[in-house]
Chain A
Amino acid sequence: MKQDWIPLALVPVIALAALPLVGSVPTWVTLTVAGLAMGMMIFMMASGLTLVFGLMDVMNFAHGIFISVGAYGAATVLTRMRPQMEAGSLAADLSAMIPAVLVAIVLAGLLGWFFERVLIRPVYGDHLKQILITMGGLIVFEQLIHVVWGADMIPLPRPSAITGSFILGEAAIERYRVLAVIVGLAVFAAMWLLLNRTRIGLLVRAGVENPEMVESLGYRIKRLFVGVFVAGSGLAGLGGAMWAMYQEQVTAQMGGQVLVMIFIVVIIGGLGSVGGCFVGALLVGLMANYTGYLAPKLALGSNILLMVLVLLWRPRGLYPIGKA
């Protein structure tokens, strides 16, 4: 089977093209690692949304709430384990971070299950209603976060083992960013294996292309919908927890604030394509960091420009899915 490597090759091409513009190698290394780390976190937050788009044809504008709830779940655990994290040992940090991340995934997954059952199931096939109900859900649940956790921003302690930087030559590389890259790669590898090496993955890939035909082969696609929605929400929760530790604070609006960037990634990658989402997220992360350094005034528009250029080149995204 022939692989299309051109979109993936764009990542090193853009990175290398930025090197002469940045001028200094240490600065370029720092920016590149920061861009890749940001890309990995965006990928974690966006990968569930792209599958939900592709498989269920659902426009879920409430995806940001899974990010926020994941972040608050992680913040609750980390805040309570603050004394433990100040011990300075990796084992103590991990004993706080692992439950924090698990709580984030479970809380966001449960909320995803509730959303699918109560809000989205009645509006399958009706995009306008999906937009309205998911926007409404986002607003209601943001307010519910205020009720449960309070309206103020919560400062989030970052575990000491992942605070600070590695010094590589003259370049300073933040430890947390390296961790984000490792976790992002692990999530991508796990998703790749699940989608390409298991029967469930085969069903999901087929369902993204043609759900009706999957049903005609005797599979109950609605059960698959629920599973994918819950898993996608859980991933968003994981991304939210990572994003919160990166920002060192949580707010109810943090999910909504990154939603535009997530939609850009999903569109650039090709609706329903996890591989496209991964490459798109890396491109967005790198672009945001390079333009933020080279031309800060353009930083906000750089990802829109990237999306326009990609869609002019490949109108259905980097890795379009052969939708029936």
Chain B
Amino acid sequence: MPEPMLSLAGVNTHIAQYHILHGVDFEVPRGSLTMLLGRNGAGKTTCLRTIMGLWRASAGSIRIDGRDTTRSPTPEVAQLGVAYVPENMGIFAGLTVEENLRLAARAGEPEAKRLEWIYGLFPAMKTFWRSLAGNLSGGQKQMLAIARAIVEPRKLLLVDEPTKGLAPSIIANMVEAFRELKRTDTTILVVEQNFHFARSLGDAVAVMDSGRIVHAGRMDALAADAVLQTKLLGLSLDSHQ
């Protein structure tokens, strides 16, 4: 069995005096799209930030593509081929769409073929190429944040709540974009609260509660088990249809 792209073993994270992650263990298989689900405050965002090195794990280990990154500073993690889209999107509002993408292209300039592919996923990026990112709508900002993360091929993409606050038509656009991304064999970990979105895309799923992983398995198994959904997430998919 191939080594997972990402694995966390016994990861603990403290923020100031607060103990947020309590021994998180899970793996993200290569080429899969794994959904990290859980209620507000379960520790999902902390988990992504700890993987990215933005918050330091106080115990445990994190391995990315076979390399121990537990103590690695954020730029080093990014240079391994990890892209991160934070919950607030993290776009540079005072820079144009072009400048946001140029900055993310560590080779200097985005490759023309790659850009055409991104325009195909998010046509708004071409339309608003010279516009200030701060003037884009919420949905367009989210598209820019994801476009920036994939402006060059990445090994691992970490995305925090990509559908938050977006209109259904934009979410449908996001689903298509993630499907296309899955075809490129990029390994993706998405933190999400929208179970419909998660179910439509996820290969694997991990569920967090109170800073711990309380369930990990295949997404189709969770989607088919209403009792488990209610137990883990406080919802039944049927009740949301």
**Which residues of chain A have a CB within 8 Å of any CB of chain B?**
1-2, 199, 202-203, 205-206, 208-210, 212-221, 321-322, 324
Residues of B within 8 A of A218 (CB): 75, 78-79, 106
Tell whether, in the assembled complex, residue B95 and residue A215 are in contact, meaning their CB atoms are under 8 Å apart: no
B132, A1: Cβ atoms closer than 8 Å: yes
B90 touches A206 (CB 8 A): no
Residues of chain B lying within 8 A (CB to CB) of residue A215: 54, 73-75, 78
* A321-B94 in contact given A1-B132, A202-B102, A202-B103 (Cβ < 8 Å): yes
Among A2, A199, A216, which residue has its beta carbon within 8 angstroms of that of B78? A216
For the complex formed, measure the closest distance between the CB of A52 and the CB atoms of chain B, giving whole angstroms. 18
Cβ contact within 8 Å between A217 and B103: yes
Contact A216 B106 (CB under 8 A): no
8 nearest A-B residue pairs (beta carbon): A322-B93, A218-B78, A213-B90, A215-B74, A216-B84, A206-B92, A218-B79, A220-B75
Chain A residues with CB under 8 A of B90? 210, 212-213, 216, 324
17 A–B contacts from the bound complex (CB under 8 Å):
A1-B132, A202-B102, A205-B92, A205-B95, A206-B92, A206-B99, A208-B94, A212-B54, A213-B90, A215-B73, A215-B74, A215-B78, A216-B52, A217-B103, A218-B78, A218-B106, A322-B92
| B131–A1 CB distance below 8 A | yes
Interface string of B90-122 (1 = CB under 8 A from A): 101111100100111010100000000000000
Bound-state Cα–Cα, A270 to B90, Å? 20
Q: Which of A1, A203, A209, A221 contacts B93 (CB 8 A)?
A: A209
| Chain A residue contacts of B148, Cβ below 8 A | 217
Beyond the given A202-B103, A210-B92, please list 19 additional residue pairs across the A-B interface where CB-CB is below 8 A.
Answer: A1-B130, A199-B108, A202-B99, A203-B103, A206-B99, A208-B94, A209-B94, A209-B95, A210-B90, A212-B74, A213-B86, A213-B90, A215-B54, A215-B73, A215-B74, A216-B84, A217-B103, A322-B94, A322-B134
CA distance A218 to B90 in the complex (A): 14
Find chain B residues with CB under 8 A from A203 CB: 103
A205 pairs with B94, CB closer than 8 A: yes
User: Are B92 and A216 interface neighbours, CB within 8 A?
Assistant: no
Which B residues contact A (CB, under 8 angstroms)?
A: 52, 54, 73-75, 78-79, 84, 86, 88, 90, 92-96, 99, 102-104, 106, 108, 130-132, 134, 148
Closest to B131 in A: A1
Within 8 Å CB of A321, what residues of B? 94
The chain B residue sitting closest to A220, CB to CB, is B75
Which of A2, A214, A218 gathers most chain B CB within 10 Å? A218
Most chain A Cβ neighbours within 10 Å, of B93, B96, B130:
B93
- Residue from A2, A209, A210, A217 with most neighbouring chain B CB atoms (10 Å): A217
CB neighbours (8 Å) of B78 from chain A are 215-218
Chain A, Cβ-Cβ closest to B96: A1
A215 to B86, CA, bound (A): 13
Closest to B130 in A: A1
B108 to A: closest C-beta gap in Å: 7
List of B residues within 8 angstroms of A202 by Cβ? 95, 99, 102-103
> How close is A68's CB to chain B, nearest CB, in angstroms?
33
- Contact between A216 and B54 (Cβ–Cβ < 8 Å)? yes
Contacting residues, chain B, for A206 (C-beta < 8 A):
92, 95, 99, 103
Closest B residue by C-beta to A219: B75
